[in-house]
Structure 1
Amino acid sequence: MQRFFQHKYYLTIGVLLLSGIVLPGCVRGQLGKDNSEQYYNGMVVCAYPDAAKAGLDILKKGGNAVDAAVAVHFALAVTLPEAGNIGGGGFMVYRSAKGQTNTLDFREKAPAAASINMYLDSAGNVIPNMSLATHQASGVPGSVDGMIEAHKKYGKLKWAELVEPAIKLARDGFKITKRLANDLNRNANDFKARNPNKKYLLKDTRWQEGDILVQDDLANTLQLISDKGRDGFYDGDIADKIVAEMQTGKGMITRQDLKNYHSVWRKPLTGAYKGYKIITMPPPSSGGVALLQLLHSVEPYPLKQWGFNKDSTVQVMVEAERRVYADRSKYLGDPDFYKVPVDSLLKPAYIASRIKNFSWDAATPSNTIQPGSFAGYESDQTTHYSIVDKEGNAVAVTTTLNGSFGSKIFVGGAGFLLNNEMDDFSAKPGVPNMFGLIGGKANSIQPGKRMLSSMTPTIVEKDGKLFMVVGTPGGSTIITSVFQTILDVIDFNKSMQSAVNAKRFHHQWLPDVIEAEKDALDSLTIDKLTKKGYKIKVGGGIGRVDAILVTKWGYYQGGADPRGDDTKLGW
C-alpha cells in the first residue's frame, strides 16, 4: 500500500485527483489534518485486527459488503469473546450501491418460560444479579440466524467460504492483544466460578500479550454452522448442548425456543439533518428513534458557530439528551408486542416543544422532566463494524452479549458464551438496569418478546449518495456516541478518524449527571456549566466508534476507535 507524500506534494496530487487521474497503489492519502489513508475498492472497520483482515480478504475475493459482514461477525465471535458472539444478537442496517435500504433485526428473544415478574422476590424486589450472572439471564440467541438471513438475501459467495476464516482462527489460534490479555485475566475468577469443570478462556498462568488462544470446541461449533447452516446451531448437537447447559442452572431456553427463533427484516427509520439523510434502526432498537430526535432537537442551533464541546454546544445537546432518554423510558419496546408511537415521537412540532422549555441560565433538573405526551396515545459490552465494498454497498452492524463476556457462562462442549440480554428488559418499572436505564410497560418481560436496545447502527446519505457508515458499542452511551460522531463530521468538519478520536460526553436523563471523558471539556466550559447547576463526572472512555466516510473524491476514509483494538483495513 502506498501513502501520499508530505504537504509540499498535496497541491499536485489534489490536481491529479480532481482531474480524474488515478495514482498507482491501492491506498490514497487524505488531504486533511490527520493524513489518514483512504481506499477506493472497499473498507472494513471493526474491533479486532484478525476480524478486519477476514472481512477484507472476502472483499478481495469478490464478496460484497454482506459477505464480508458474515465473515467479520463469526471472526469476532472468536477474537473478541467479550462482545463478538454466536450466543447473542444484534441489528444490521443495509444500503445497496443503488440506494435501496433495509434493516435486519436479529435481537435475542425472551424464552417461552419467561414471565413479567421472573426477577422479583416474594416482596416484589429485584433479585440482584439474577438477570446478569445466571442461566436465567439469557435470551434466545439471534446472531447465527441473522447472518444466515442476511447472506440468503444479499450474499454472493458460498456460505462455507464466509465461515471458514473464523473456523481457522478458532482451531489454529491467534495472537491476543494486550487489552484482550488484560480482559481475560480480569475475568478469570468469574469464568471459574460460573463454569465448573470447564476451562474455556483459562490457562494455568496469566495471559500475556502475544499468547496464542486456541478454541477447539468453538471451532467445532462453527464447523457445524458452516456445514449445516441454521440447523447446525438451532437443531442437532449444538441445540442439545444449549439445552443441557440450561438445565445445569435452571435456565429457560428449550429446543422449541431455538426452533421458533427467527430474525426479522424491518423497514428502516429515516430522517433528515441539515440536508443529510439518516438511515437507522427502528424498534426494538431505541437507538434510531432517539438519534433522530436528538439530531432534530439541535438542528436549529448554530453548533458550528459556538464550537466543538463548548458550553453552549454541550448545554443544548445535554438538554436534548435529557428529554430523549425520558421518552425512551416510557415509549420504546418491541413493536411486535407494544404499539410504539414512532411517528408521534418524530413529529417536528413535538420535538420542538420538548427542547424549547429549557433555560440558558440553569440546568433543567431531570426530576422535573417526564416523558412527553401525545394526543390520543395511551400508554456495556457490544461491538460494531462498518463495511463498504467496491460497488458501494454498505453495511452497519452492531451486535452484543450485553455485559462484557455476557453472563460469563459457556455452553459446555460448544465453547461459546451465553448472553445476559434479559437484563435489557425492565425487571420492574422504575428500577434501572445495569446501564442505569429506566423502563416501564413498553419494555416489560413477555415470552417471545425482544428486549429494548440502545444499539444504533446508522448509514448517512448526502445528495442521494453514500456518505457515512457508523456505529459503536457502549450500552446507554451508544446513542449519544453516534449522535456526537455525526455532528463532529457534519457540523465541525472533522475527518472520520478525527471524529472517532474526539472526546465524548453523555447524559441519559437519570442519573442526572454529565459523564465526560478526560479532556472532553476544557476547564472554562466545566466552570460555566457547573455554575448553571450541571453535575459533571469525569471518567473513562465512552464508546468505541467504527465508521467509514466517503470523501468528496469518492474514496473511503476509515475511523477505527483508539479506545480499543479497533482496526481499519481497505484496498
Structure 2
Amino acid sequence: MTVKRIVFLFALLGLTGCLDRDLDEVGLITDEAMVVTAHPLASAAGARILQRGGNAVDAAIAVQFALAVVYPDAGNIGGGGFLVLRQQDGTLDALDYREKAPLAADRDMYLNEEGEVIENLSVLGHLAAGVPGTVAGMVEAHERYGSMPWPELVQPAIELATNGFPLTEKEARKLNERRADFLTYNTRRPEFILKDHWKEGDILQLLDLARTLERIRDRGRAGFYEGPTADLIVAEMERGGGIITKEDLTAYDAVWRDPLTAEIGDYGIITMPPPSSGGIALIQLLTLSEDYPLDAWDWNTVKTAHVMVEAEKRVYADRAKHLGDPDFYEVPVAGLLNPAYIRRRAASISLEDATDSDDISAGVPAPPESPHTTHYSIVDPAGNAVSVTTTLNSNFGSTVFVAGAGFLLNNEMDDFSIKPGYPNSFGLIGGEANAIAPGKRMLSSMSPTILERNGELFMVIGAMGGSTIITTVYQIILNVIVHDFPMQGAVNAGRFHHQWKPDWILSEWGALGPGTALGLWWKGHKVVPKPSGGIGRAAGILVLPDGRLEGGADPRGDDAAAGF
C-alpha cells in the first residue's frame, strides 16, 4: 500500500472520532411559545413580541430586523428569503421575497470576451447584488397576517442599532477576517465596522442603520424602496459600477405562493416551492428514504449513510437541470414529486457500491397533468408556526455597505447559473433553467419547512449553509422521526453532505460512527472532512406529546432558543 493511500486511510479514520455534542440532549422546553434564531438578542426580541400578545408573524418581523443588526453576516434588509406559515386552523401559506436580477442584467454579464467566467465578479462588489426583497417581504407578511402595529415590530432593531450591542466571540472573529474585503469593495470606508481588532464584548453601534430602520418604521415599504434610502442605494451603485436602479427598487414585489405539501408515513411535509430547490429536494429525499429500514440500520451506519448519499446524488442532479424561477421557467414540480418517478430514480441505487456521479444525470420527470443564510423558527401561544430562511448568500454578502444607510448588499447574483455547467461559489452546477434574466429570481437551496403528525403541528425546522441546507434539514428530520432523537440532539448530531458534483462526501469531524467512513470508502465513496465551521446551522422546534415545545438551537453558532 502506498504512503499516500496509508495517509488517506488515517485521515478517513479520523473522521470517525466522537463529536463533543450530546445526541440525547434536550433543549429549552416551554409551555406556550418558542423562538429559535441565530443570535440570543434576536430570539429575545421575538419572544418579547409574543409575550406582548403578538403572533408568530409579528415575532418573525421583529426577528428579521433584529438579525439585520446583531447578525450582519446573514441577517439583513439588503437580501431576501422565504417564509412558510402554518396557522393553528390549518391554513398554509408561503411567501417568496427572494431577490431579483436587476432589469439591466443579462445572461453573460459575468463572462469575458472569450466567454469565460470573470473570477469573483458575481461574488464580491456591487455587480454581485440582486434587488433586495427583505423589506417588501416583511411588509407583505404584516399586511396579510400581522396583528401588532408595524412600528412596534421594527422598534426593537432600532434600539439595538442605536444603543449598540456586545459582539460574541464568533461575530468579532468574522468581522476581523473580512476587514480586507470591506476595505477593497466599498466606495466609502465603512468606519463603523473597521476597528483594528474586534474582540468579544466590544460594543458595535450602527447609527446609519438605525436611521434606515427608522425610515422603514415610519414609512413601511416606501422607507426603503423610495426616498432617501433608495437614493443612497442608487448612489452606491453608481459609484461602484453596480446596475440596481430606482426602477428596480420600485418594481420589486414579494410573491405569495402555494407551499409544497406531501404525506410521508404519518407525517405531513409543508415546505417552500420554487424558486426554492429545497422543498422539492427535501420531499424527494424523504420519499426515497421511506423505502429503506433506516431505523433498523441505525444512525450514521455504513448502510444508512450510503443510501442517504446515493439519494442526495440523484436529487442534486435533478436540481441542476430542472429547477429555476417558476415565473420564467416551467418547473416540472408534479413530475419531480411523483412517487413513481422518485422510485425510478432510486432503482439504480446499489446497496453494495457507490455510483459514480459522472454516471448519474438528471431524470426525465413526467410532465404535469395540470455560503450564507440564517434560519429562524417560531411557534406562538395559539399554535401558529412560522419557518423563515433569509440570506445575503455569502458571509456579509457582496461585502458592500450602502454608504450612509449602514446595511450590506447581497451577492445573490452568484446563485444564478452564470455560465451553464459552471459551479457557483458553493460548487453547485446549474443549467438553462437558472440562467440570468432581467427581473428573474435566482434558484435557492433555502428549505424552511413545517411538519405535521397525524394532522397536528409537529416540527418547525430550517437551516443556513448554502448548498448544505437541504441535506442539513433532511438529516435533522430523519434524526427525529426515524432515530427518535430529541430536537436539541437532532440539531447537535454530526452531519455529512453530498451534492452530486463534486463527487465526494463532505463530513464534519466525528459525524460518522466508528468504521462508517472506512465502510463507505470500501463501497467506493470519497469522504473529505469539512475543514471548519461545521455543516449548516439549524433552528428547530418540536411539539412534544404533552403539547409543550422543545427548542433546538445549533451549537455550531451563537444560536439561542427563547420562550415562555
Note whether the superposition's TM-score is higher than 0.5.
yes
* 1:286 pairs with 2:277: yes
The TM-score normalised by the length of structure 1 is 0.93
Asked if the contact 1:82–1:405 (Cα under 8 Å) also holds between the matched residues in 2, the reply is: yes
TM alignment of 1:298-447, pairs within 5 A: 298-375=289-366, 380-447=371-438
Asked if the contact 1:476–1:508 (Cα under 8 Å) also holds between the matched residues in 2, the reply is: yes
- Distance apart, 1:441 and its partner CA: 0.6
SS of structure 1 residue aligned to 2:330: coil
* 1:562 pairs with 2:564: no
Asked if the contact 2:81–2:133 (Cα under 8 Å) also holds between the matched residues in 1, the reply is: yes
- Residues in 2 aligned to 1:247 and 1:342: alpha-carbon distance in whole angstroms: 40
- Residues in 1 aligned to 2:386 and 2:177: alpha-carbon distance in whole angstroms: 33
Q: Deviations over 1:497-516 (max 9, x none)?
A: 00000000000000000001
Asked if the contact 1:184–1:201 (Cα under 8 Å) also holds between the matched residues in 2, the reply is: no
Unaligned runs of 5+ in 2: 1-22
Asked if the contact 2:509–2:529 (Cα under 8 Å) also holds between the matched residues in 1, the reply is: yes
RCO higher in structure (CA 8 A, sep ≥6): 2
1:250 counterpart (241, 246, 255) = 241
- Residues in 1 aligned to 2:111 and 2:184: alpha-carbon distance in whole angstroms: 24
Q: Where does residue 7 of structure 1 map in the other structure?
A: none
SS of structure 1 residue aligned to 2:552: strand
Q: Where does residue 553 of structure 1 map in the other structure?
A: 546
Q: Deviations over 1:66-87 (max 9, x none)?
A: 0000000000000000000000
SS of structure 2 residue aligned to 1:468: strand
- Residues in 2 aligned to 1:313 and 1:262: alpha-carbon distance in whole angstroms: 43
Identify if the C-alpha distance between structure 1 residues 204 and 359 changes in structure 2 by more than 3 Å, giving closer, same or farther. closer
Q: Deviations over 1:320-363 (max 9, x none)?
A: 00000000000000000000000000111110010111222211
- Residues in 2 aligned to 1:273 and 1:239: alpha-carbon distance in whole angstroms: 46
1:536 counterpart (504, 527, 541) = 527
Identify if the C-alpha distance between structure 1 residues 145 and 316 changes in structure 2 by more than 3 Å, giving closer, same or farther. same
SS of structure 1 residue aligned to 2:537: coil
Q: Where does residue 236 of structure 1 map in the other structure?
A: 227
Q: Where does residue 114 of structure 2 map in the other structure?
A: 123
2:148 counterpart (146, 157, 164) = 157
- Distance apart, 1:123 and its partner CA: 0.4
- Residues in 2 aligned to 1:531 and 1:33: alpha-carbon distance in whole angstroms: 30
Asked if the contact 1:200–1:410 (Cα under 8 Å) also holds between the matched residues in 2, the reply is: no
Q: Deviations over 1:102-141 (max 9, x none)?
A: 0000000000000011111110101101101121111000
Q: Deviations over 1:225-257 (max 9, x none)?
A: 000000000000000000000001211110010
Which letter does structure 2 place at the counterpart of 1:405? F
- Distance apart, 1:198 and its partner CA: 2.1
Which letter does structure 2 place at the counterpart of 1:454? S
Alignment RMSD (CA, Å): 1.1
- Residues in 2 aligned to 1:195 and 1:310: alpha-carbon distance in whole angstroms: 48
- Residues in 2 aligned to 1:263 and 1:385: alpha-carbon distance in whole angstroms: 19
Aligned pairs, how many? 538
Q: Where does residue 223 of structure 1 map in the other structure?
A: 214
1:519 counterpart (493, 510, 518) = 510
- Could you tell me the percent identity over the aligned residues? 58
Q: Where does residue 469 of structure 1 map in the other structure?
A: 460
- Residues in 1 aligned to 2:34 and 2:183: alpha-carbon distance in whole angstroms: 39
Asked if the contact 2:187–2:236 (Cα under 8 Å) also holds between the matched residues in 1, the reply is: no
SS of structure 2 residue aligned to 1:545: strand
1:179 counterpart (150, 170, 177) = 170
- Residues in 2 aligned to 1:381 and 1:200: alpha-carbon distance in whole angstroms: 24
Q: Where does residue 14 of structure 2 map in the other structure?
A: none
TM alignment of 1:35-74, pairs within 5 A: 35-74=26-65
Asked if the contact 2:335–2:366 (Cα under 8 Å) also holds between the matched residues in 1, the reply is: no
- Residues in 1 aligned to 2:38 and 2:367: alpha-carbon distance in whole angstroms: 44
Which letter does structure 2 place at the counterpart of 1:177? T
Structure 1 stretches of 4+ with a deviation exceeding 3 A read 374-377
1:105 counterpart (72, 81, 96) = 96
* 1:263 pairs with 2:254: yes
Which letter does structure 1 place at the counterpart of 2:529? V
Which letter does structure 1 place at the counterpart of 2:134? S
Which letter does structure 2 place at the counterpart of 1:84? G
